[in-house]
Amino acid sequence: MARRPFGEFEHILLYAVLHLQDHEAGASGAALRRLIEARTGRVASPGAIYTALERLETRGFVRSKLGEPTPERGGKRKRLYRLSAAGTAALRDAEAVLDSMARLARAKR
């Protein structure tokens, strides 16, 4: 059996990146945290978000860049994340596996 490319939290995080990257220049860690908490009710610490993002970037599933400095951050730049082609493919593959297993389980009812 093939190893899953990511765990549940990383799966949720990738979907959050995918959603936010279409609405902004990229997804910031703070925006990802707010979205995950709002949609799942799961409290995610900034450390958990950034550790997972670093792991996903190392594995090639997300890319990051520094955004423009903002006055509300005292001139500091945000790191913005976007899904890579590999991340998109990994999400698609994970969806196909989960869908296949769900259909199999429903057929037994």
What φ, ψ does residue 80 adopt, rounded to 5°?
Answer: -115, 140
Q: What is the CATH number of domain 8-107?
A: 1.10.10.10
* CA dihedral over 44, 50, 56, 62, signed as positive or negative: positive
What is the Cα–Cα distance from 58 to 50, expressed in whole angstroms? 12
Q: pTM of the predicted model, to two decimals?
A: 0.86
3-class DSSP assignment, residue 2? coil
pLDDT of 33 reads 95
Please give the average pLDDT of every successive group of 10 residues along the chain, which has 109 residues: 73 95 85 95 94 96 90 82 95 90 84
Domain ranges in the chain are: 8-107
pLDDT of 3 reads 58
What is the Cα–Cα distance from 19 to 91, expressed in whole angstroms? 13
